[in-house]
Amino acid sequence: MVTLQVKPTRMELSNLKRKKKVAVRGHKLMKDKRDELVRRFIIYVRRNRVLREQVEEKLAAAMQRFVLARATMSAEAVEEALCYPARPATVEAGVQHVLSIEVPQLRLAAAEGFSYPYGFMTTSAELDGAVQIFSEALPMLMELAEVEKVCNRLADEIEKTRRRVNALEYVMIPQYDEAIRQITMKLDENERGNLIRLMKTKQMIAGRE
């Protein structure tokens, strides 16, 4: 451990004690922040797992129906049926804050209701089902993307906070403790030396009288 290079004075000792007090307070605040970040991270991770399972289930069901639709329809008919979206939709991207951390906020702005973008004369029920399920999965995909990004940001912030906590706990505060100990020992040594010189001076004066 690197020792702080300081002057062994009472003013420096007072400054070090004040800095150590600030470091200890900062260490506690950073630990509290890290713990709260971990708690929020666990909540988002659990939500991410649930969403991912739901999305994968929806997409698997939609793809299964889509494959069945391709088996009963020509490729041209499927392509023509899916040329136009079922409903217009836009994605609005914003920013939200989680413990003072900026994270993305995604909102799907879509028209109310749902209607198929094709007629039913040349399409199959399997294609209808696939389009319906894809439409239901879209908002979930948006939320999943948002939650995953929040998880990434929180994980990065947890790592940064962990490094700061460790730096305070294992480097800065021990350095302050060691410097305070050395200065205290030096001041005590100087005080004993001054006391011994004073006693010798008194003895010399008393011997001359």
Q: Over the stretch 64-92, which tens digit does the pLDDT of each residue have?
A: 988 888 887 777 777 777 776 666 677 88
Is the domain 10-201 a CATH 1.10.287.3240 member?
A: yes
Tokens of 148: 């995953």
* DSSP assignment of 92-110: EEEEEEETTEEEEEEEEEE
Residue closest to 31 by CA, chosen among 191, 202, 162: 162
The neighbouring-strand residues paired with 97 are 102
pLDDT value at residue 72: 79
pLDDT exceeds 80 at position 30: yes
DSSP-derived secondary structure letter, 4: P
pLDDT value at residue 49: 96
For the segment 6-17, what is each residue's pLDDT rounded down to a tens digit?
A: 788 889 989 999
More confident position, 122 or 60? 60
Q: What share of the chain is helix, strand, coil (3-state, %, to 5)?
A: 75, 10, 15
Judged on CB neighbours under 10 Å (0-12, 13-18, 19+), 89 is middle
Mean pLDDT, to the nearest integer, of 78-107?
Answer: 79
* Domain limits, the chain: 10-201
pLDDT exceeds 90 at position 41: yes
For the segment 115-144, what is each residue's pLDDT rounded down to a tens digit?
A: 666 666 667 788 788 888 888 888 899 899
> What are the C-alpha distances in Å from 195 to residues 75, 163, 201?
102, 46, 10
Calculate what percentage of the chain has a pLDDT beyond 70: 88
